[in-house]
Amino acid sequence: MPEHVLVIGATGNIGVAAVKGALNSGRQVLAIVRNQASAEKLFKHVGSSEGIQVIEADVTSDTGIKSVVDQVKAGKLPAFQHVYTCVGGEYTNVPLKSITTERLRKNINMSLEANFFAYRDTIEYLLEQGHPDSTWTICTGSQGDMAIFALPAITQGPLFSMATAAARENEKTNVRVNEVYLMFRVEVDEDAAQHGVTSSSEFAAVYEGILSNPEIRSSRVRVASPADIKDLKWAKKF
C-alpha cells in the first residue's frame, strides 16, 4: 500500500507544490478542497488527477478537517501517514491602519486557525497509527518577520510559535514536525512563467527532500533563494 499525504491548502501556490512533491516521492495524495471547481483547478495546476483523491471540506471551520480524519478512521478514505498544511489568507498591501476588524478576523481564521486545526485535528491520528516515519509539515513565509505587507505579516507571525510548539511536543514521537520558511515568491507554473518567479513544480523538491531525510526533525527549513530548493538548509527550532 502506498503512503498517503493529507494536504491542507492544496489548491494554492504552495499546496500545488506539496501535492507535486508528494507524488514525485512515490506517495499518493488526499487533498482537501472547497468544492468541485477547486478540485478541477488543482488537477489543472498539477497536470493530472492521477494519485490524487479530493475530499470536500471547509478547512476554516473547526470541524472541517476533523470530519475528514473521522472518514479516514471509519475506513471511508485511505489512511494517511503525512500532513502538509499551507492555508493562507489574503496577500495584499492594505495598510495596518486600514484593516477592519472583520477583515482581520477573517484572515486570522484563514491563516492561523486553519493551520492550527490542521495540527490539532490530525496529530492524534498520526500518533495512534505509529508509522515509524510520519511527518507533519507547515509552510510559513518571511512576511511574518519582514512585514512589508501588514495583513499577511500579522497573521503569519503566530504560526512561527505554533510550529515551534508542535515541534517540541513531537521531538520524541514517531512524527517529524518541521516548518518550511519561504523567503521568496512561488506561483503555480503557468503564473510563474509569466511573472518570472519560482514555480510550484520547482518548489516541490523541498517537500521531497524533507520526506526523504529522517534527520530533518523539529526544524525550520530555511528557503532563502531558489538555490536552497535542492540544497536544503535546516536548523533545530529550539
* pLDDT tens profile 143-179: 999 999 999 999 999 999 999 999 999 999 999 999 9
- Residue 60: predicted pLDDT: 98
Of 182, 159, 165, 189, the closest CA to residue 13 belongs to: 189
pLDDT band at residue 1 under the 50/70/90 scheme: confident
| Neighbour count for residue 170 (Cβ, 10 Å) | 22
- 207 near 17, Cβ under 8 Å? yes
Q: pLDDT tens, 177-228?
A: 999 999 999 999 999 999 999 999 999 999 999 999 999 999 999 999 999 9
CA distance 225 to 53: 32
Longest CA span, the chain: 52
Global confidence as pTM: 0.98
Radius of gyration of the chain (CA): 17
What pLDDT was estimated at residue 172? 98
Please say whether the beta carbons of 72 and 79 come within 8 A.
yes
Compute the Cα dihedral for 53, 209, 127, 58 and give only its sign.
negative
pLDDT at 36 over 90: yes
Quick check: 126 and 69 in contact, CB under 8 A? no
Mean pLDDT of the chain: 98
pLDDT at 220: 99
3-state helix, strand, coil in the chain (%, to 5): 45, 20, 35
Q: What is the pLDDT of residue 218?
A: 99
| Paired residues of 85 in beta bridges | 8, 138
Domains of the chain plus CATH, in order, are: 4-236 (3.40.50.720)
Q: How far apart are CA 167 and CA 219, in angstroms?
A: 7
* pLDDT given at position 118: 99
Q: What is the pLDDT of residues 119-147, one digit of tens each?
A: 999 999 999 999 999 999 999 999 999 99
Measured distance CA(122)–CA(32) in Å, rounded? 13
